[in-house]
Amino acid sequence: EPEVTQTPSHQVTQMGQEVILRCVPISNHLYFYWYRQILGQKVEFLVSFYNNEISEKSEIFDDQFSVERPDGSNFTLKIRSTKLEDSAMYFCAIRDRGNQPQHFGDGTRLSIL
């Protein structure tokens, strides 16, 4: 049973539209992450989230991206105005305290037309 559930599994959106990707951990965790994987390329770090705020973000995570955990369970990634190059698999990951591994969800495939 996965520790993290991501919805939707596939999202198709017109360029310029806003999208919200959701991540629901099964139980409480301390650290939350978003990564993306463009087809045929490496998995890339986007952002980490701890104690209800962003703790680190990459160059990819520009002003078009935002994250939040509004109700203490769902963890969301919003892309305000999507571009063709945002097409990718987006993975949510969680981690607990200490030297624990990160656990990933099955991802959301985002296709921008």
Partner 1 sequence: KQEVTQIPAALSVPEGENLVLNCSFTDSAIYNLQWFRQDPGKGLTSLLLIQSSQREQTSGRLNASLDKSSGRSTLYIAASQPGDSATYLCAVKESGGSNYKLTFGKGTLLTVNP
The CB-of-43 to partner 1 minimum distance in angstroms stands at 4
* Residue with smaller CB distance to partner 1, 70 or 98: 98
Structure tokens at 88: 């990718």
Strand duo 53-57 + 108-112: pairing:
unpaired
Q: Report d(CA 92, CA 107) in Å as an integer.
A: 7
Measuring CA to CA, which residue among 16, 9, 11 is closest to residue 84?
Answer: 16
* Residue with smaller CB distance to partner 1, 1 or 71: 1
Residues that bind partner 1 (CB under 8 A): 2, 4, 6, 31, 33, 35, 41-45, 48, 50, 55-56, 58, 91, 93, 95, 99-107, 109
The CB-of-106 to partner 1 minimum distance in angstroms stands at 4
The CB-of-93 to partner 1 minimum distance in angstroms stands at 8
- Residue 101 has a CB neighbour count (10 Å cut-off) of 8
